Amino acid sequence: MDLSDEPVVGGRERMHFAAQALACGVAYAGADFYFAPPRPAAYDLPAISIAGTGKRIGKTAVGGHTARLLARRWKVVVVAMGRGGPAEPVVMTSSPDVAGLLELSRSGRHAASDYVEDAVFARVPTVGARRCGGGFAATPLTSNVEAAAAVAAGLSPDLVLFEGSGTVLPPVQTRRRILVVGGGQCPERVLGYAGAYRVLVSDLVVLTLADPHLDVRPLRQAIEQVREVPLIAAALRPRPVSDISGRRVAFFTTAPAAAVPGMVEHLTTSYGARVVHASTALADRGRLGAELREVDAEVFLVELKAAAIDMVAEHAERRGVPVVLCDTQVVSLPGEPCLDQALLDLGQEAVAS
């Protein structure tokens, strides 16, 4: 119970105290406020959660990378929740190609949902789930993740990866937690109010979009002041799933505009593409439609997000332009600890505990 007030304790300090209390599983209350600690559902299987501090920061990329890596050693199932997830848990055990994704979209389902993206690129069984709302302590108002967790258990996995949504953590108990933070986010955005809670309950922080031109030191220092937690800065690199060398390519992404020059350079130098158009409008349907009407390319290279299938792939099919899906590699920056080893260690700890 907080019985203080200004000038001893202000609002900023109170929110920090609230984060500390909630991370310890204790309620924090005062004269006219009450913060209840999250009560995630019990889960008996080895599990790791992967959550983020916002949208479009590479959380799904880290989740897919983790699933691919750990699937080399264990039988992995991914449970991915989202605001656009299915009303009832949906299992995907195959990795559909573009034609299969178009068929899925035409049936009325969201063919670029996170659980679909994980199935396509990580090539592990996935379960799609839905959530609504999100609180200060990263808890959804409602979700069907608990039901999805039971479905995942029925697939007899060695290890289950639960992906969060936005700033919301999966509402189930997991043995280890990974937090994905966007390198371009300001410290106040990540840690302000009760944001420190996410850092306090995490076992590893992955700082994404941390390209060399971006100074992430203030953000890193702010996180380290909250808690000494392993932190690895990483870059996100586009990885086409098919050959695009020598082709005139239109690239469609949800990445921020500042990241696009580096992505285009990587596609040019590593994959031999001739990128004639780079769009950041994949989640802006109005702007995307205008771009599609004007773009002239031999190949459409598209991330599996937002309007990738129901707009870009549909438009490409009408024009007879081939579509290549684009995965995302997560690469530790020079001088940083090895991300893959850190993820393998967490997997081993989750399975062994």
DSSP 8-state symbol, 227: -
144 pLDDT exceeds 80? yes
Query: How large is the average pLDDT for residues 320-345?
Result: 97
Q: In the chain, what is the straight-line distance between the N-terminal and C-terminal CA atoms, in Å?
A: 34
Query: How large is the average pLDDT for residues 191-213?
Result: 93
Q: Looking at the domain assignment, is residue 211 inside a domain?
A: yes
106 pLDDT exceeds 80? yes
Helix H or strand E segment including 64 = helix 59-70
Q: Looking at the domain assignment, is residue 309 inside a domain?
A: yes
Nearest residue to 90 via CA among 151, 155, 162: 151
Q: How many domains would you assign to the chain?
A: 3
Residues 205 and 302 in one domain: no
121/327 Cα distance (integer angstroms): 6
304 pLDDT exceeds 80? yes
SS3 for 182-203 is ECCCCHHHHHCCCCHHHHHCCC
CB 232 within 8 A of CB 81: no
Residues 82 and 209 in one domain: yes
Radius of gyration of the chain from its Cα atoms, rounded to whole angstroms: 21
Residues 111 and 149 in one domain: yes
- Give the chain's mean pLDDT: 96
The per-residue pLDDT for range 28-47, each reduced to its tens digit, is 999 999 999 999 999 999 99
**Residue 211 — very low, low, confident or very high, per pLDDT cuts 50/70/90?**
confident
Residues 13 and 58 in one domain: no
CB 271 within 8 A of CB 290: no
Q: Looking at the domain assignment, is residue 42 inside a domain?
A: no
213 pLDDT exceeds 80? no
Q: What percent of the chain clears pLDDT 90, i.e. is strictly above it?
A: 93
Q: Looking at the domain assignment, is residue 249 inside a domain?
A: yes
Residues 209 and 293 in one domain: no
**Residue 246 — very low, low, confident or very high, per pLDDT cuts 50/70/90?**
very high
Amino acid present at 51: A
CATH code assigned at 141: 3.40.50.300
Residue 9 belongs to domain spanning = 1-37
Residues 198 and 209 in one domain: yes
* Structure-token pair, residue 238: 């586009």
Residues 211 and 88 in one domain: yes
Helix H or strand E segment including 119 = helix 114-122
CB 207 within 8 A of CB 181: yes
Can you count the helices (H) and strands (E) in the chain?
A: 12, 15
